Amino acid sequence: MPEILRSLSDKVRPEHTALVVVDVQNDFCADRGFYSRLGLELAEIQAMVPRLQGLIDAARQAGIMRVFVQAIYDEAFLSGPALERRERNGVTVPCCLSGTWGAEFYHIGPAEGEYVVRKHRYSAFINTDLDLILRSRGIKTLLLTGVATNVCVESTARDGHMLDYYVVVVEDCVASAKKDLHQATLENIRLYFGEVVPARDVTAAWAAGSGRGR
């Protein structure tokens, strides 16, 4: 019988929790980036980032493992289906190319000793070392944050659940350029893939457990 962690406080205990920050990069967040050049609305994304910075600061103080996920979408890494989808949707603007401003982190970034996982697919688990890194540290729970809620955050949440991690999506520290899809994704995750909670509940759980031996 596997161990079952039922309460949020048990799920997010510092010794087995990783904060995963997905794709908070200029191309998805900044005014001159890929999303902006496609004419997508960035207000929700840009408003989310300061809240996420607060959660990152709290995670550092609590000793939570931090992983920053960085999308790199050079054409050499893209599949035929991915290129076909771009053509079908009329997307000609490059996104998150190696060494470019667009691929750089937006207003946040890893400190010394924090992990960076580079990915070439929507999910941070596909053909990366993320699962190995997490298991080597005894991680049971993923605190998922970042952009876009309905694309790379959701893809990572689904794979995390299938790999037997507890998935906790921090609802005010994820965002999308499409508000309706953001909300639909959060509901889908609540039903099938994990838990959706505000950052204040996570930090309150850390504060309440700060006196417990770790």
By annotation, the residues acting in catalysis are: 23, 119, 152
Tokens of residue 97, six digits? 């190319």
DSSP track, 77-122: G--HHHHHHHHHTT--S--S-TTSGGGSBSS--PPTT-EEEEESSS
Q: Are 19 and 25 in contact (CB under 8 A)?
A: no
Q: Are 153 and 146 in contact (CB under 8 A)?
A: yes
Distance CA 37, CA 42 (A): 11
